Amino acid sequence: MVTANSRAKCSICNKANATCLCSGCSKDFCFQHLTEHRQILDKQLNEIINDHDQFQQTIIQQKQNPLNSSLVQQINQWETNSIETIQQTAQQCRETLMKLTQKSINDVEKKFRELSKKLKEIRQENEFNEIDLNHFQLKLTQMTKEFLQRSNITIRQDSQEFIEKISVISSFKQIQTKKNKYQQSGITVAGGNENGKELYQLSYPQGIFIDNDKSIYIADSNNHRIVKWQLNSNIGQIIAGGNGKGNQNNQLKYPRNIVYDKENNSFLISDRGNGRVIRYFDQNPVNQQTIISNMNCFGLTIDKNGFIYVSNWENHEVRRYQQGDEKGELVAGGNRKGNHLNQLNNPTYIFIDDDYSLYISDTDNHRVMKWEKDAKEGIIVAGGIGEGSSLDQLSYPAGVIVDHLGQIYVADPDNHRVIRWCEGDKEGEIVVGGNHCGSQSNELYFPTGLSFDNEENLYVADCHNHRIQKYQKILN
């Protein structure tokens, strides 16, 4: 409040003895009405404080009882309605089955009475032979089978859902995240000198790993070796295998994957052709050892606690291994080959995130599955609607990695592209490649392994071009 000109009038009583101007509403008040005005402001302040306190209490209650929110109540209502739909459908099916069963029993019973009558007649007449007996035996067998098996009544489960789906959608991720973009022309950082076994060549490279110095470790599959290419080098260095195809300690056979084990300062190699996983110490190759054997291993990954995950192509499963454990614990699939959510069909590359969610290239199902920790089934996060080249399809997916934003990158070999999906999206987006197969810098030819370096640049094992391509992240 400030003192006003003595000629100003009170905005309430309109008398010329106003003494103060309110800086908030820019009105003049006499002393009497100034007091009333202050009382009104005090009342408004108290109402705001009261609203503040009520909202604070609401926050506390929501934190203490998060399941009481209106959104949770919507989910609960959906659950109730869905259960009612299931129960109603089940009851209708039971009633239909009872009616059909009773009709089937009546039909068999009628035939049985007729058979009984004929049996009684031939016994009384004592006129029967082998042909009659065989006829009666066949009829009785047919009736028994019809009665017990009820082949005329079956249960059909439709694959289409009759319960309306529900999901939770949030705008947080779209607001808070910004997808990485990459140069569309790749830089060849290893190989690229045709198919060969020289140190400047690669032969159908598969899995790759990039260390903090940007050295690239490559499963050089058809050369049966692991090769290390240092930054800006024109040739590689053999660090494992390279002694011909074989199963000796210094040999490999079609290695598919390589990952780094920080805890033990060693590399893990999926030696698929020999059905084993090898631990290799870069500084001391004498200590190379087989840690898992007798399995059709393909993909490899390791979590932050040092547990090793291996995909088994033949058994359609992924297992988790502790140090010294050769049997492992089933964590995904293992329910025979199939396309249900608890099944896999020839799983290959795998990736584990910090929440222990496992991402699996379910190759022959043309989809990528996410299995959360201790889950009994996975969810489809990419593809899953058949083989194809549309943005909502994959064709025999290979390498899979996930960035810090939760974006899922998938090598899509038969489509010669790397495609990115966000969980819950109906389709992906092409990150690099997708320009038909070729050997130009903006082309790929059957990409397989994927990796990031510590600056989030993307590396792709361009398998049939026998090279590793680096795609630089575009700085925003």
Domain boundaries, the chain: 4-59, 81-170, 187-471
Q: pLDDT digits over 128-147, tens only?
A: 777 777 777 877 887 787 77
pLDDT score of 151 more than 80: no
pLDDT score of 331 more than 80: yes
Phi, psi of 166 (to 5 degrees): -135, 145
Distance from C-alpha of 390 to C-alpha of 288, rounded to nearest angstrom: 44
Share of the chain above pLDDT 90, in %: 55
Higher pLDDT, 141 or 234: 234
pLDDT score of 2 more than 60: no
pLDDT tier, 124 (very low <50, low <70, confident <90, very high otherwise): confident
Which H, E and C letters describe the chain, residue by residue?
A: CEECCCCCCCCCCCCCCCCEECCCCCCEECHHHHHHHHHHHHHHHHHHHHHHHHHHHHHHHHHHCHHHCHHHHHHHHHHHHHHHHHHHHHHHHHHHHHHHHHHHHHHHHHHHHHHHHHHHHHHHHCCCCHHHHHHHHHHHHHHHHHHHHCCCCCCCCCCCCCCCCCCCCCCHHHHHCCCCCECCCCEEEEECCCECCCCCCECCEEEEEECCCCCEEEEEHHHCEEEEECCCCCCCEEEEECCCECCCCCCECCEEEEEEECCCCEEEEEEHHHCEEEEECCCCHHHCEEEEECCCEEEEEECCCCCEEEEECCCCEEEEECCCCCCCEEEEECCCECCCCCCECCEEEEEECCCCCEEEEEHHHCEEEEECCCCCCCEEEEECCCECCCCCCECCCCCEEECCCCEEEEEEHHHCEEEEEECCCCCCEEEEECCCECCCCCCECCEEEEEECCCCCEEEEEHHHCEEEEECECCC
pLDDT score of 166 more than 80: no
Distance from C-alpha of 358 to C-alpha of 307, rounded to nearest angstrom: 12
Mean pLDDT of 303-324: 93
Higher pLDDT, 344 or 56: 344
Structure tokens that stand for 55 in this block: 């909202």
Q: For domain 187-471, which architecture applies?
A: 6 Propeller (2.120)
Mean pLDDT of 264-281: 93
pLDDT for the residue numbered 152: 66
Closest by CA to 406, choosing from 194, 177, 126, 152, is 177
| Region of poorest pLDDT, from 71-85, 223-237, 376-390 | 71-85
Structure tokens that stand for 197 in this block: 């076994």
pLDDT for the residue numbered 109: 79
pLDDT score of 177 more than 80: no
pLDDT score of 259 more than 90: yes
Taking all residues of the chain, what is their mean pLDDT, rounded to a whole number? 87
Distance from C-alpha of 164 to C-alpha of 162, rounded to nearest angstrom: 6
Alpha-carbon distance values, 259 to 222, 283, 335 (Å): 19, 16, 27
pLDDT for the residue numbered 294: 92
Share of the chain above pLDDT 70, in %: 90
| Amino acid identity for residue 152 in this structure | N
pTM, to two decimals: 0.66
Closest by CA to 400, choosing from 426, 372, 375, 421, is 421
pLDDT score of 172 more than 80: no
Q: pLDDT digits over 7-28, tens only?
A: 678 888 887 765 687 878 888 8
